[in-house]
Amino acid sequence: MLSKLPPRERQIVDILYERGPVLVSEICEALPDPLSGSAVRAMLKRLEDKGYVQRSESQRGYLYSPAVSDTVAKKSALSEIVRVFFNGSPASAATALLGMSEKLKDNELDELEQMIARARKAKGGN
């Protein structure tokens, strides 16, 4: 989904996910390579037309935010990574993550165990 965006548009959407609703001036300040306000507004309009961005009025001007929840965006991005790098296998992706277990905290490992148990239960397993 977001991976199909041109790099500059993707940078803008990433800023919106990181910061929440922001003004054009705040987006301009956050970009690694400066763009004019009018260039950013033009990209925001395209992103709005594509359904990636929404705007709302505030006392300070239009506030821009992602139109897709971060949960949906994360799931889409992760699905793309699993498809490209792990041949579509979620188990291979999980195995790779668990291979980094030295970086996982005990509570994170506990949470993963609970998620696996819930997934088994939802599928009717033991």
pLDDT in tens, 74-99: 888 888 899 999 999 988 988 888 88
Domains in the chain, CATH or no CATH each: 2-66 (1.10.10.10)
User: Is the predicted pLDDT of residue 126 greater than 90, yes or no?
Assistant: no
Q: What angle do CA 78, 79, 85 make, to 5 degrees?
A: 85
Q: Which amino acid is at 12?
A: I
CB-based contact 62:56 (threshold 8 Å): yes
Model-level pTM? 0.68
Segment 31-59, tens digit of pLDDT:
999 899 999 999 999 999 999 999 999 99
Q: Is the Cβ–Cβ distance between 97 and 108 less than 8 Å?
A: no
Assess contact for 23 and 11: CB atoms under 8 A. no
